[in-house]
A = this chain, B = another copy of it.
Amino acid sequence: MGGDHAPSEIIRGALEAAPALKGKLLLVGQREIVESHLPTEVPANIEVVPASECVDMDEKPLEAYRRKKDSSIIVGAQLVKDGRADAFVSAGNTGACSATCLLIWRQIEKVHRPAIASQIPNLHGEFLLLDAGASPDVDPEHLVEFAIMGRAYSEKVMGHPNPKVHLLNIGEEEGKGNAFAKQSYKLLQKHAWFAGNIEGKDMYSKPVDVVVCDAFVGNTVLKTSEGVAELIIQMIKQQIPTHPILRLAYAPLKKVMAPLRKRMDYAEVGGSPLLGLNGLCTICHGRSNAKAIKNALLMTQKAIDNRLVETIRESAAREL
């Protein structure tokens, strides 16, 4: 029920992903509405689980949790808690999803704050940035938790063996940054996988696996890169003449821009995992289309297959 294009795009994406999924795909929401979007021939592994309420995209997370006990978010998270589902995927209100999963699933032992991990394209492929928006107020020790969670995802889902972790900072050398960054550096330094500071510019050009920062910085980085990419695309468009004859010469530009747009398209990855809880939640962009939902579901299947939550639990027990 969540997302700007729900339920039609969500259900379309689910239908596309269903054949590739190993278990059942539970569609949580208002039964009549969900069923009205389903074709007469539904894949055998799709099932509707009723939830009478919906959380609005701008509703306050904790209010929604208290007031709407039969929301699709609560019902979805509860399915995981009850062992009836392996993971919960949503394009709904990010704050409400994060808060609900936290309250119902609770943190993995020794983890204090959940984090959203975002895959970002760079010259060498993709790196993982976290926290991209789950826990706005954190202490330096929480960045060590993020590092451990990010390493598990980078290895198990993105396929990077023995991933290194960088601290996002405003200088490369040790001792750079604000008090928070300096203290984080000291704590991260105790781990063999720590690779030092990295600056915002360099994460796009150097081969990096995992970058940790607080959610304010992480979310700002994410939105800044979206803004700059969109600005450049707009500026390029403005250079192209509007007259159809004059436009002809610019046809190769389309060929150049297409793969670029594909690399920059959030829908290619589909969703970002909420890490650190006793359950797996994949958070999709509010404006998710069917392709984004499909890719988020496939990625979530990969995380289940590779025992992501268990890996984080084992790493936290060993390293924290």
Contacts and interface: CB of A to CB of B under 8 A. Distances in A.
Interface in A193-233: 199-205, 214-217, 219-232
23 contacts: A133-B170, A136-B178, A137-B178, A170-B216, A200-B219, A200-B222, A202-B223, A203-B227, A204-B228, A204-B230, A205-B231, A217-B217, A217-B220, A220-B221, A225-B225, A235-B259, A235-B263, A236-B260, A239-B259, A239-B260, A250-B252, A252-B252, A252-B253
Top-7 shortest CB links A-B: A200-B223, A204-B227, A200-B224, A201-B227, A136-B178, A201-B223, A170-B219
A256 interface: yes
A179 interface: yes
Nearest to A240: B256
Contacts of A226: 200-201
A229 B235 CA distance: 12
B200 A227 contact: yes
A168 interface: yes
A14 to B, nearest CB: 28
A240 to B, nearest CB: 7
Nearest to A138: B178
A222 B200 CA distance: 8
Given A220-B220, A239-B255, 10 more contacts: A178-B215, A180-B216, A200-B226, A204-B228, A204-B230, A205-B227, A205-B234, A232-B232, A240-B256, A253-B256
A201 B214 contact: no
B136 A170 contact: yes
Contacts of A225: 224-225, 227-228
A249 interface: yes
A123 interface: yes
A221 B219 contact: no
Count copies of this chain in the complex.
Answer: 2
B231 A122 contact: yes
Interface residues of A, number: 55
Given A215-B178, A222-B200, A256-B250, A123 B170 contact: no
A173 interface: yes
A256 B236 contact: yes
A95 to B, nearest CB: 9
A133 B239 CA distance: 33
B137 A179 contact: yes
Contacts of A234: 123, 205
A58 interface: yes
B204 A231 contact: yes
A177 interface: yes
A181 interface: yes
Contacts of A255: 239
A11 B113 CA distance: 53
A199 B223 contact: yes
B202 A227 contact: yes
A263 to B, nearest CB: 7
